[in-house]
Amino acid sequence: MSFKEQVSSMNMEAIVEMCIDQEQQAIDLYTMARDQAKDKSARQKFQELIDMETEHKVALKDFELERYLELPPADLKVTDYLMAPNTRENMTTQQILILAAKREGKTARMYQELADLFVQDKKLNTFFQMMADEELRHKHDLETEYENEFLQEG
């Protein structure tokens, strides 16, 4: 069964479950990284990310439609050309932000591909588009934070 057929055969509930699983994977990654981190400020940053993803997971469960109606902000592409860091114990806050923004970008692309795959299916298309937009919004927020802190150019 192709991925498209697989997703088509799922009901909406199962699709939402799949997306929640995606969020959970991010939470697990950040939790592991937080527990490994030696630096206090790095631990703080990972905790913020865990909180953000948890909030997103809850929103998905409750399916807060109004949350998804807003158009996403422009993709700033601030971290697109930066090197992807590996998770390790002495990560800096700068690397954490790059890691997280890149991850949001990748997930957004995955949802966008799914949305494009189901252009004909209005319901699925809308759902995946909304998911892609939400991930882009996160990327935007993280990149704005990155810009403000690490590209002050002072």
Partner 1 sequence: MKRERPQSFNTVPIKERLTIPRQDMPEQDALQRSTNFLEVNLGLNPEQAVIEAQRCIECKNPTCMDGCPVNIKIPDFIQLICNEDFLGAADKIKEDNSLPAVCGRVCPQETQCEEVCVVGKRFEAVAIGRLERFVADYAMIHGNGSTKVFDKPEPSGQKVAIVGSGPAGLAVASDLIKEGHEITVFEALHEFGGVLVYGIPEFRLPKAILREEVANLEAMGVKFVKNFIVGRTMTIQELMADEGFDAVFLGLGAGLPRFMNIPGENLNGVYSANEFLTRSNLMRGYEFPEWDTPLYRAKHAIIVGGGNTAMDAVRTAKRLGADEASIVYRRSEEEMPARNEEIHHAKEEGVAFLNLVNPIKFIGDEQGNVIAAECLRMELGEPDGSGRRRPIPMKGSEFTMKVDMVVIAVGNGSNPLIAQTTPEIETNKWGNIVADEDGKTSMEGVYAGGDIVSGGATVILAMGAGRKSAAAISEYLKSKVGSVV
Burial class (CB in 10 A: 0-12, 13-18, 19+), 3: exposed
- For the CB of residue 137, give the shortest distance to partner 1 in the complex, in Å: 14
Residue 149 binds partner 1 (CB under 8 A): yes
Cite the DSSP H helix spans in the chain.
3-9, 12-36, 40-62, 65-69, 93-117, 122-150
Of 76 and 110, CB closest to partner 1: 76
The CA-to-CA distance between both ends of the chain, in Å, stands at: 54
**How far apart, in whole angstroms, are the C-alpha atoms of residue 95 and residue 86?**
9
Residue 28 binds partner 1 (CB under 8 A): no
10-18, 61-69, 70-78, 106-114 -> range binding partner 1 (CB under 8 A)? 70-78
Q: Which of 17, 48, 121, 141 binds partner 1 (CB under 8 A)?
A: 48
Give the residue from 135, 46, 48, 58 showing the smallest Cα distance to 89. 46
38-46, 51-59, 64-72, 110-118 -> range binding partner 1 (CB under 8 A)? 38-46
Binding-residue total with partner 1 (CB under 8 A): 28
Residue 151 binds partner 1 (CB under 8 A): yes
- For the CB of residue 45, give the shortest distance to partner 1 in the complex, in Å: 5
Q: Which amino acid is at 117?
A: L
Give the residue from 28, 36, 30 showing the smallest Cα distance to 89. 36
Residues that bind partner 1 (CB under 8 A): 39-42, 44-45, 48, 74-77, 80-83, 85, 93-95, 98, 144, 147, 149-154
